[in-house]
Chain A
Amino acid sequence: MRKSLVALFALLAVLGLSAQEFTIVNGTEPVSLDPHAVEGVPEHRIYMALFEGLTVADPRTNRAVPGVAKSWSYSKDFKTITFNIREGVKWSDGVEITADTVVKSWLRKMDPKNAFQYADLPASYIAGAMDYLEGKAGPENVKIRAVDKYTFEVQLVGPTPFFADMTIHYAFAIVPIHAIEKYGADWVKPGKIVSNGPFVLKEWKPQEKIVVEKNPTYWDAKNVGLKKITFIANDDVNVGYNLYKTGAADWVETVPSELMDEVKLRKDFHVAPEYGTYYYIFNVTRKPLDDARVRKALAMSIDKKALVEKVTRGGQVPADSFVPPSAGYTPTKGLAYNPEQARKLLADAGFPGGKGFPTLTILYNTSSNHKRIAEFIQAQWKENLGITVNLMNQEWGTYLDTRSQSHNFDIARAGWIGDYLDPSTFLDMWVTGGTQNDGLYSNKKYDELIQKSRVTSGAERFKIMQEAENILIDQDMAVLPLYFYVTQNLINLDKWDGWYPNPLNTHPWKFVRPKK
């Protein structure tokens, strides 16, 4: 009896241990482990294990909660933010993190010599930073400073009440300057890497896996619930799903859309609204798309409810506005499905019954999902407006070139996931001459409103943005929103705690733990 009891306890101990090990199918091989050089979702997840910025995402709301900064406060006009750095927070090699480390880290990110992607994110909001990034001024021009050892102050270009939320992003990462100076580009290699997150790098096999282990020197180590995380590099959705099904992985965040009907029935499948929009861009410089009536007719003749129910089938939400709903911001109403009105608008524009309407082309990047959606829209326009459109697919790199560089398209498929929870991440891109403005839309009133939103704060700011979105969608129909993305995660929440469906699909590892 006693023997079997011992065996039972031993078994429980083993189970308890392995239950603290977590494996995720992480998607494509990360481009880097250097938080300043990374971009993309797989990299972000590794970043959240190895590093910690001033703030961390709340696992439920994705708003900022304290990280290296224990608190922060805005000035009255929201143009200055002061972070109070937690005292005694150390790198994995024992060196302390101070306000000066943060200053040097952010300057490294924006240093033009380093040419880091996403450097424009901090540079767009921090006073004087854009000049530095563009090589027009030195680093002393950037308005960030260490007031004292544990106080870090940022002066902003305009009122930015969401700046603390933004600092969750890896573009605002804090890096071990002392180690980078010592090892150069090799500082991220195993054996050399110095980090400050809840986990430290144990093993890195490129194209295969990254293994991290709990960091005993992390300031909040007692609240970290996992001992080990394995990130599997994988480019194939089906393989990822199979790994999950065989129990080789605990979490996978993309499921094969062909198997959606099977996956949907699973208890461990979690669909939740995501802060992102799937949409079509109109090239407004091309006839007849330069006529707002034509664009509106095209928009009002698509039954988006049927689109998400019959074509995408993964719980996506039909979208009439470009900005997804979020706390405090009510998106514009948009143009609802109304084939009658659409036909009338098309006739007003000189194409009664679709007669004389040129054959336009829908451009999308090669994927069976995009193809099915384009075919549905092609059929809708045929049925409701009597017009014919062609479909054209291009491989990703070619498609990006066509869409953003040569602008040689009529209508192009696109998708946008917010970098942080604020409507500006959706609306800023449509200003005249914006780098992301691939449809070459230009409206002076819109530009003015966006400019105004950058120097206003509070509820007033949201009102201005809503007005701008109304112009963009209801009045001009410059872009055609189709549906809001949803996150589609497979994870067994009877087994894991501290993981919640959330709008940016950001799940900080420090909160994830086995369920008791």
Chain B
Amino acid sequence: MARYFIRRALSLIPTLFIIITLSFFLIRLAPGGPFARERDVPEAILQNLLKRYHMDEPLFKQYLRYMGDVIRWDFGPSYRYRDLTVNEIIDRGLPVSMALGVTSLLLAVVGGVSVGIISALKQNRWQDYVAVAIAVIGISVPLFVMGPVLQLVFGMKLKILPIGQWISTHGLKAIILPALTLSFPYFAYIARLSRASILEVLRSDYIRTARAKGLKESVVVWKHVLKGALLPVVTYLGPAFSGIVVGSVVVESVFLVPGIGRPFVQSALNRDYTLIMAEVVVYSVILIIANLVVDLVYGLLDPRISYK
């Protein structure tokens, strides 16, 4: 187990190396640069800017310089936000995005599994139909529609929740709408997934055995059904987490959340090379670690899986 973990952790390094190298050269292929403006920058100033950010050096030398900095976890100055280093931008935004992401994931799992249980146990009754309907809506409505609809209902009509900005302005209720929006498709998918797998487990032999032993129905469900039925949900946590991380880019813009998702979009449009690179690295690390954690949890739940 420990050896497996170490091996997986070490594989992070070549993966990241390839990601950084590819993105370094790819983003420089995009037309335009960080200093392109509607009002053209005069040649003299442009030259000064290039010199300031070492962009007058040969590309390969810039690459080596960048690699050296990244190893020391120094992402350099932002080409756009002059008062902040890229590290400062990430350091401020990451906890916000993580708070939003983790809340959304919890909502999706807890809500999804609960709805899954109810609709499996009440199969083909009205509770089941309602749950299925919600799930279909959740899976098919994109985030950028869901967000504004929730804003309209809860922010503008009912006026009970803020339509934007973060905890420092509105307190904890600021997290509700963005987290609901972000979690909804995953909540819906998890509900479907757990319903299906609970139904399957309910028909299996060991559940029949458990019932034949005369166990109480609640014990059967909580102890035997859930443990078996949760495996597919855990498998789905990896993709769900990636989806939530990626979706946060949209949700952060719609709800003015000061995370790392909004600067990601802006940095790409602004050709803010250093910020794009840092965002790519941070997102890569998050996704790789998330997948690793899911693999480990999987082993804990299913004794048939072992790591060598």
Chain A positions near chain B (C-beta within 8 angstroms): 28-29, 31-34, 37, 39, 112-117, 119-120, 130, 133-135, 185, 188-189, 205-209, 232-236, 238-239, 242-243, 245-246, 248, 395-398, 400-402, 404-406, 414-415, 435-436
CB distance from A478 to the nearest CB of B (A): 17
Chain B 29-58: CB-based contact to A (< 8 A → 1; otherwise 0): 011110111111111110011011000000
CB distance from B60 to the nearest CB of A (A): 23
Chain B residue nearest in CB terms to A408: B31
A28-B266 contact in complex given A239-B254, A239-B256, A248-B162, C-beta closer than 8 Å? yes
**Assembled-state Cα–Cα distance A486/B259 (Å):** 34
Q: Which residues 77-128 of B sit at the A interface, judged by CB distance below 8 A? A: 80-84, 88-89, 92-93
A246-B159 contact in complex given A32-B82, A120-B42, A208-B258, C-beta closer than 8 Å? yes
**Assembled-state Cα–Cα distance A61/B265 (Å):** 37
Q: Is the CB of A233 within 8 A of B256?
A: yes
CB distance from B80 to the nearest CB of A (A): 5
**Assembled-state Cα–Cα distance A375/B41 (Å):** 31
Query: Taking each of B31, B41, B88, B148, which has the highest tally of chain A beta carbons within 10 Å of its own beta carbon?
Result: B31
Out of A236, A238, A400, name the residue touching B37 (CB < 8 Å): A400
**Assembled-state Cα–Cα distance A238/B37 (Å):** 25
The 4 A-B residue pairs whose C-beta atoms are closest, nearest first, are A397-B32, A115-B48, A208-B258, A401-B31
Q: Which of B132-140, B164-172, B202-210, B299-307 sits within the interface?
A: B164-172
A34-B82 contact in complex given A397-B270, A435-B43, A436-B40, C-beta closer than 8 Å? yes
B: number of interface residues (CB 8 Å) = 53
Q: Chain A residues near B269 (CB, 8 Å)?
A: 395-397
Q: Chain B residues near A246 (CB, 8 Å)?
A: 155-156, 159, 163
A208-B40 contact in complex given A37-B82, A235-B266, C-beta closer than 8 Å? no
Out of B41, B156, B266, name the residue touching A29 (CB < 8 Å): B266
Q: Chain A residues near B89 (CB, 8 Å)?
A: 206-207
Q: Is the CB of A435 within 8 A of B52?
A: no
Q: Chain A residues near B83 (CB, 8 Å)?
A: 32-34, 37, 185, 188-189
Q: Chain A residues near B155 (CB, 8 Å)?
A: 242, 246
Q: Is the CB of B36 within 8 A of A207?
A: no
CB distance from A467 to the nearest CB of B (A): 25
In the complex, 12 of the A-B residue pairs with CB atoms within 8 angstroms, ordered by the A residue number, are A31-B81, A34-B82, A113-B52, A117-B37, A120-B45, A133-B44, A233-B256, A242-B155, A243-B163, A400-B38, A406-B31, A435-B42
Q: Answer whether residue B151 sits at the interface, using C-beta atoms and an 8 A cutoff.
A: yes
Q: Is the CB of A248 within 8 A of B31?
A: no
**Assembled-state Cα–Cα distance A435/B40 (Å):** 6
Q: Is the CB of A235 within 8 A of B262?
A: yes
**Assembled-state Cα–Cα distance A133/B43 (Å):** 11
**Assembled-state Cα–Cα distance A232/B82 (Å):** 19
Q: Answer whether residue B253 sits at the interface, using C-beta atoms and an 8 A cutoff.
A: yes
**Assembled-state Cα–Cα distance A134/B253 (Å):** 40
CB distance from A127 to the nearest CB of B (A): 17
Query: Taking each of B81, B83, B148, which has the highest tally of chain A beta carbons within 10 Å of its own beta carbon?
Result: B83
**Assembled-state Cα–Cα distance A129/B41 (Å):** 17
Q: Chain B residues near A112 (CB, 8 Å)?
A: 44, 48
Chain B residue nearest in CB terms to A187: B83
A400-B165 contact in complex given A205-B258, A239-B256, A395-B269, C-beta closer than 8 Å? no
Q: Chain B residues near A185 (CB, 8 Å)?
A: 82-83
Chain B 141-171: CB-based contact to A (< 8 A → 1; otherwise 0): 0000000100100011001001111101100
Q: Is the CB of A397 within 8 A of B254?
A: no
Q: Answer whether residue B271 sits at the interface, using C-beta atoms and an 8 A cutoff.
A: yes
Chain A residue nearest in CB terms to B170: A248
CB distance from A419 to the nearest CB of B (A): 8
Q: Is the CB of A397 within 8 A of B40?
A: no
Q: Is the CB of A119 within 8 A of B31?
A: no
**Assembled-state Cα–Cα distance A133/B141 (Å):** 54
Q: Chain B residues near A37 (CB, 8 Å)?
A: 82-83
Q: Answer whether residue B263 sits at the interface, using C-beta atoms and an 8 A cutoff.
A: yes
Q: Chain A residues near B265 (CB, 8 Å)?
A: 235
Chain B residue nearest in CB terms to A398: B31
Q: Chain A residues near B30 (CB, 8 Å)?
A: 397-398
A234-B164 contact in complex given A113-B48, A398-B30, C-beta closer than 8 Å? yes
**Assembled-state Cα–Cα distance A464/B168 (Å):** 56
Q: Chain A residues near B80 (CB, 8 Å)?
A: 31
**Assembled-state Cα–Cα distance A33/B81 (Å):** 9
A401-B81 contact in complex given A115-B52, A205-B168, C-beta closer than 8 Å? no
CB distance from A18 to the nearest CB of B (A): 15
Q: Is the CB of A119 within 8 A of B81?
A: no
Q: Is the CB of A236 within 8 A of B81?
A: no
Q: Is the CB of A238 within 8 A of B148?
A: yes
Q: Is the CB of B81 within 8 A of A32?
A: yes
Query: Taking each of B30, B38, B263, B271, which has the highest tally of chain A beta carbons within 10 Å of its own beta carbon?
Result: B38
Chain A residue nearest in CB terms to B148: A238
**Assembled-state Cα–Cα distance A288/B88 (Å):** 52
**Assembled-state Cα–Cα distance A235/B261 (Å):** 13
Q: Is the CB of A400 within 8 A of B32?
A: yes
Chain B residue nearest in CB terms to A116: B45
**Assembled-state Cα–Cα distance A514/B80 (Å):** 35
**Assembled-state Cα–Cα distance A31/B166 (Å):** 21
Q: Chain B residues near A189 (CB, 8 Å)?
A: 83
Out of A29, A117, A248, A415, name the residue touching B45 (CB < 8 Å): A117
A242-B156 contact in complex given A120-B42, A208-B258, A398-B31, C-beta closer than 8 Å? yes
Q: Chain A residues near B148 (CB, 8 Å)?
A: 238
**Assembled-state Cα–Cα distance A120/B48 (Å):** 12
Q: Chain A residues near B266 (CB, 8 Å)?
A: 28-29, 235
**Assembled-state Cα–Cα distance A37/B162 (Å):** 33
Chain A residue nearest in CB terms to B78: A31
Q: Is the CB of A209 within 8 A of B165?
A: yes
Q: Is the CB of A207 within 8 A of B258?
A: yes
A400-B36 contact in complex given A31-B82, A205-B258, A207-B262, C-beta closer than 8 Å? yes
Q: Chain B residues near A39 (CB, 8 Å)?
A: 37
Q: Chain B residues near A130 (CB, 8 Å)?
A: 44
CB distance from A424 to the nearest CB of B (A): 14
Q: Chain A residues near B45 (CB, 8 Å)?
A: 115-117, 119-120, 133
Out of A234, A236, A397, name the residue touching B31 (CB < 8 Å): A397
A206-B40 contact in complex given A113-B48, A397-B270, A402-B31, C-beta closer than 8 Å? no
Q: Is the CB of A245 within 8 A of B32?
A: no
CB distance from A170 to the nearest CB of B (A): 14
CB distance from B218 to the nearest CB of A (A): 45
Q: Chain B residues near A31 (CB, 8 Å)?
A: 80-82
CB distance from B143 to the nearest CB of A (A): 13
Query: Taking each of A37, A117, A135, A189, which has the highest tally of chain B beta carbons within 10 Å of its own beta carbon?
Result: A117
**Assembled-state Cα–Cα distance A32/B80 (Å):** 8
A206-B31 contact in complex given A32-B81, A112-B44, C-beta closer than 8 Å? no
Query: Taking each of A207, A234, A242, A402, which has the highest tally of chain B beta carbons within 10 Å of its own beta carbon?
Result: A207
Q: Is the CB of A234 within 8 A of B156?
A: no
